[in-house]
C-alpha cells in the first residue's frame, strides 16, 4: 500500500469512528432527554438506587408508596429544604458556595464534606447507580441540569420525597411515615416532619425507629430553620 493510500485509509477510518461515536452520543442525548421528559409526567416505577441495592444485596426488600405532593403535609418539603438545601428554590441545581467550601474543607480535613443539592440527589438516585467515578459525577451534573430545565422545582421535590431512602429498604416519606409513625405522610406534625429530615443524608446511621440524642437536637435546629425560612409560606404555593 502506497503512502497516499495509507493516509487516505487512516483518515477514512478516523472519520468513520468519529461519525459512529457522534451518532452514539446523539442517540444517548436524545434518549436521556426523552427519559427525563417522560418522568416529568410519569412517576418513576423504580429508581437507580433501589435497583442497584436490590441487585447487589441478597433478600433486599423495597417498601415504597408514591404520593403526590398535595397528599403529604407541606411541613415535609419545608423540613427537607431546611435540613438539606436551604437555597433549593434559588439555585439552578448547584450550590456554588457550598461546593467551594466543601473543596476547601476536604483539602484540609480528613472528614469529607458533601455539597450535593436536592436536585443533584434526585438526579443521582433516579437515573444513576451509587458508584464513585468521574463518569458518574459527570452524568450527575448532566441529569441535574436536565431536570432543572425540564421538571422545575416542584416536580423535583415531588420525586425526591418519593424516592429518598429513609430507612433500610424504606423509600419515600409515605412509606417512612407509615413504618415509623403509624400514620400517613399528610398527617405528620411539624415536629415529626423535622425529625424525619434529620436522618438525611445517612438513613442507615440515623434511624427514625430509634432517634438518637443527636437527632432530637438536630430536630429542634431544623424547626428553627423552618421558621427562619418563612414557614410553610415558602412552599405553600405548590399546594394551591
Closest C-alpha among 124, 209, 135 to residue 169: 209
* pLDDT above 90: percentage of residues in the chain: 70
What's the mean pLDDT in 36-59? Answer: 94
Measured between alpha carbons, how far is residue 238 from residues 92, 131, 154 in Å?
Answer: 18, 33, 7
Among 101-105, 129-133, 190-194, 206-210, name the most confident range. Answer: 190-194
Spatial separation of the C-alpha atoms in residues 201 and 208, rounded to whole Å = 13
Output the nine-digit C-alpha cell for 46.
Answer: 423504580
Question: What is 28-81 written as a DSSP string?
Answer: HHHHHHHHHHHHHHS--SS-HHHHHHHHHSTT---EE----GGGS-THHHHHHH
- Please give the sequence-ordered ranges of beta strands (E in DSSP) within the chain, or none if there are none: 63-64, 165-167, 170-171
SS3 state at 166: strand
SS3 state at 27: helix
At 12, the pLDDT band (50, 70, 90 cuts) reads: confident
CB 197 within 8 A of CB 222: yes
Per residue in 196-228, pLDDT (tens digit) is: 999 997 898 999 999 999 999 999 999 999 999
Closest C-alpha among 13, 17, 31 to residue 142: 31
What's the mean pLDDT in 107-131? Answer: 82
Spatial separation of the C-alpha atoms in residues 52 and 65, rounded to whole Å = 19
Q: What does the pLDDT read at residue 170?
A: 96
Given a cut of 80, is residue 8 above it in pLDDT? no
CB 232 within 8 A of CB 78: yes
∠ CA 41-46-47, nearest 5°, is 95
What's the mean pLDDT in 137-143? Answer: 95
What's the mean pLDDT in 66-80? Answer: 95
At 108, the pLDDT band (50, 70, 90 cuts) reads: low
Taking every pair of Cα atoms in the chain, the longest distance, rounded to a whole number of angstroms, is 81
Amino acid at each position: 500500500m502506497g503512502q497516499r493510500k495509507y493516509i487516505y485509509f487512516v483518515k477514512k477510518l478516523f472519520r468513520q469512528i468519529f461519525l459512529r461515536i457522534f451518532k452514539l452520543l446523539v442517540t444517548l442525548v436524545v434518549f436521556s432527554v426523552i427519559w427525563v421528559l417522560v418522568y416529568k409526567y410519569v412517576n418513576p416505577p423504580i429508581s437507580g438506587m433501589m435497583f442497584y441495592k436490590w441487585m447487589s444485596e441478597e433478600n433486599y426488600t423495597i417498601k415504597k408508596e408514591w404520593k403526590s405532593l398535595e397528599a403529604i403535609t407541606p411541613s415535609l418539603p419545608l423540613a427537607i429544604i431546611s435540613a438539606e438545601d436551604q437555597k433549593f428554590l434559588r439555585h439552578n441545581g448547584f450550590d456554588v458556595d457550598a461546593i467551594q467550601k466543601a473543596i476547601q474543607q476536604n483539602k484540609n480535613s480528613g472528614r469529607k464534606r458533601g455539597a450535593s443539592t436536592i436536585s443533584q440527589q434526585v438526579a443521582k438516585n433516579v437515573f444513576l447507580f451509587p458508584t464513585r467515578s468521574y463518569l458518574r459525577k459527570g452524568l450527575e451534573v448532566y441529569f441535574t441540569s436536565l431536570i432543572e430545565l425540564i421538571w422545575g422545582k416542584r416536580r423535583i421535590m415531588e420525586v425526591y420525597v418519593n424516592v429518598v431512602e429513609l430507612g433500610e429498604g424504606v423509600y419515600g416519606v409515605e412509606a417512612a411515615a407509615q413504618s415509623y409513625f403509624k400514620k400517613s405522610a399528610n398527617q405528620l406534625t411539624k415536629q415529626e416532619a423535622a425529625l424525619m429530615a434529620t436522618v438525611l443524608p445517612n438513613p442507615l446511621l440515623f434511624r427514625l425507629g430509634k432517634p438518637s440524642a443527636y437527632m432530637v437536637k438536630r430536630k429542634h435546629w431544623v424547626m428553627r430553620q423552618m421558621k427562619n425560612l418563612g414557614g410553610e409560606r415558602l412552599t405553600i404555593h405548590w399546594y394551591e
